[in-house]
Structure 1
């Protein structure tokens, strides 16, 4: 199994967590987003969308982190990533999409580049733009998890929602968003990083291996 990703990529981080939670062996191939390697023709043959992650399972390539997690859960049911109850599953996916669909797409390299190239935004303006939308998602997530008494977002074991939250909180760190203003979310993030699969998958840990 081969994972195409980049150490800084939050979407790749989600997939890395899932693979490590399930104990699946894989090889990670670095596609340097900061150098534009995702736009090279060779990677376009892997993923025509020119984005990471892409997961090659026996020659079949999956893209986009959420459907990759869904496929992994179906193929490797040990350590389930999605709640069994339909309502809890929908709630977990909805919570994950608060970041995957709402805020994360606004802070990716192609959006940041467009803000600079087309609208003349300087680095400080781009970072403020990203921080604004990340903070909005913090408020949404805080409201969703504040009323729960479970150890993790949806229950007593981490699921897709926790994976998405972990990635979102790393994004907050990238753009200087102090998450202590959202105490339940902040505490959950700290709890998740005590789990080996989350800590070992962290972008900064991957950067050490990529150096």
Structure 2
């Protein structure tokens, strides 16, 4: 199994966590987004969108982190990352998509580069944009999860929503976003960060 990866990519971080939680062995191939390796002909032959991550598992090649994680959950079901109950599964997906669809894309590297490139916005404008959309998303998540008394969103073990949350909080800290108003989110994050799968997947590990 081979993961085309960039250490600071929020989406790739999600997949590394999932692989770790499942105890799967894999190799990593770094695709430097800053050096624009994602636009090389070789990489685009695997992922025409020029995004990370891409997972190659035998004759299967997949992009999009949530699709990859759901594939891993069905192909290697020994540790489940989505509930089997249809209502609980939908609720888990809903929380994950709150982050992956409504927060992350607006703060993606290529969006930020477009703001400061063709649109000629300042770095201060970029940070204001970034913080605005984080606040919108995190306010909603904190409200949804308020009163949660389990260690993880997934109950006694982390699930897809926990994975998405931890990766997005890492990105928030990179841009000096104040998380004081989100005690539930940061409590869940702290619990996740006690697990080896989260520790080993962390972008600071390279």
Decide: shared fold, TM above 0.5. yes
The number of aligned residues is: 206
Do structure 1's residue 145 and structure 2's residue 150 form an aligned pair?
A: no
**Which residues in structure 2 correspond to 1:10-49 (within 5 Å)?**
10-49=10-49
Q: CA offsets per residue over residues 117-172 of structure 1, 9 Å max, x none?
A: 22211112112211211121111111111122211113111000100001110111
- Partner residue, 1:175: 175
- Partner residue, 1:59: 59
- Partner residue, 1:117: 117
CA–CA separation in structure 2 for the residues paired with 1:204 and 1:173: 13
Higher mean alpha-carbon deviation, 127-136 vs 93-102, is at 127-136
Structure 2 unaligned runs (5+)? none
CA–CA separation in structure 2 for the residues paired with 1:192 and 1:74: 22
Compute the displacement of 1:59 (Å): 2.8
Q: Which runs of 4+ in 1 moved over 6 A?
A: none
Compute the displacement of 1:66 (Å): 0.5
Compute the displacement of 1:178 (Å): 1.8
- Partner residue, 2:154: 154
Structure 1 unaligned runs (5+)? none
Q: Is the 8 A contact 1:166 1:189 kept in 2?
A: yes
3-state SS of 2:90 partner:
helix
CA–CA separation in structure 2 for the residues paired with 1:124 and 1:56: 39
CA–CA separation in structure 1 for the residues paired with 2:204 and 2:137: 23
Compute the displacement of 1:106 (Å): 0.8
- Partner residue, 1:106: 106
CA–CA separation in structure 2 for the residues paired with 1:30 and 1:61: 16
Do structure 1's residue 166 and structure 2's residue 196 form an aligned pair?
A: no
**Which residues in structure 2 correspond to 1:60-75 (within 5 Å)?**
60-75=60-75
Higher mean alpha-carbon deviation, 28-37 vs 127-136, is at 127-136
3-state SS of 1:102 partner:
coil
- Partner residue, 2:82: 82
Do structure 1's residue 193 and structure 2's residue 193 form an aligned pair?
A: yes
